Amino acid sequence: METMEDYKEELDASFRRINEGDIISGTVIDVSEEEVTLDLKYYAQGVIKVSELSSDPDFVAAQQIHPGDVLEATVVKTDDGQGNILLSRKEANEVLAWEKLQQMLDEKTTVKVRIKESVKSGVIAWLEGIRGFIPASQIALDYVEDTAPWIGKEIDVRVITVDRQKEKLVLSGKVAREAEAGERRHRISMIVPGTVMEGTVESLMPYGAFVSLGDGLSGLVHVSQISERRIGRPSDVLKVGQKVKAKVLNTNDNKISLSMKALSEETVDTEGAGDLA
């Protein structure tokens, strides 16, 4: 037997009123070269023209928007002449993006951006559809004299200035790198020498093997600490991608020094002690 609950969505839609200037959300049901269509749970569908999706020059609707995505947009017209509600995501973004950027600033969030162009004294990158400036002194840990080679590169940044009134957004790769380095120093400081760790060989050099230990950390097994027997180069006994165990020798200078040889020696000593017993 049908109840009022069966018609809840239809009833809600019939009482709902959408006005020009409202910011509403809808679920993407279709993406074409000209427009994106949204289900607004209303008697009319929402339409966003491609030109009204983003101010970011690198934005490509077909690549970045898919059916099922939920978008927020501003109502431009309640009837576009074809019975649809005309929307603008760009207009909504002018309000919502600044709120998100302020939250990123408050929470010290690290995000990845792609550098779009080089300008006087820095570079430009887009974040949340807003044009952001990265000063040359803030691109990396050291001052960047020539910014042109950075165009097209992706870097981690933090928001350091948000001024909606002046439409000013300043980002910093340097602050993100310093924060990452600080977190890394803390993680390394928590490692106790003598601890046995398991990791994956990530690269082989003439002087040793770098082992990924997870959590963004890696350590070096010097060639003299790989095996009890003398080897010419690390590749004689190790392969990239190989799982290994090693003992932490020290964490001096914020670097993790490892030894596989120490584990082999401990095994021999243990076996020898067993034989004596």
Residues in contact with 73: Cβ distance below 8 Å, sequence separation at least 6, in sequence order: 23, 24, 25, 26, 38, 46, 48, 52, 87, 88, 89, 91, 92
Residue 43 has pLDDT above 90, yes or no: no
Give pLDDT, residue 63.
86
- In angstroms, the CA 86 to CA 67 distance is 18
**Mean per-residue pLDDT, 64-76:** 91
pLDDT per position as a tens digit, 116-131? 999 999 999 999 889 9
Give residue 5's identity as a one-letter amino acid code: E
Query: Which phi and psi angles does 35 have, rounded to 5°?
Result: -160, 165
Using H for helix, E for strand and C for coil, what is the string for 77-88? ECCCCCCCEEEE
pLDDT per position as a tens digit, 158-194? 999 999 989 999 999 999 999 998 998 999 999 999 9
**Mean per-residue pLDDT, 107-115:** 95
Query: Which phi and psi angles does 139 have, rounded to 5°?
Result: -70, -45
Residues in contact with 193: Cβ distance below 8 Å, sequence separation at least 6, in sequence order: 248, 249, 250, 251
Give this prediction's pTM.
0.64
- Give 216's pLDDT tier (boundaries 50, 70, 90): confident
Burial class (CB in 10 A: 0-12, 13-18, 19+), 114: middle
Residue 276 has pLDDT above 90, yes or no: no
CB-CB contact of 85 with 73 (8 Å): no
**Mean per-residue pLDDT, 17-35:** 89
72/95: higher pLDDT: 72
Give residue 100's identity as a one-letter amino acid code: K
Q: Which of 110, 67, 71, 111 is nearest to 87 (CA)?
A: 71
Residue 268 has pLDDT above 90, yes or no: no
Give pLDDT, residue 277.
47
Radius of gyration of the chain (CA): 28
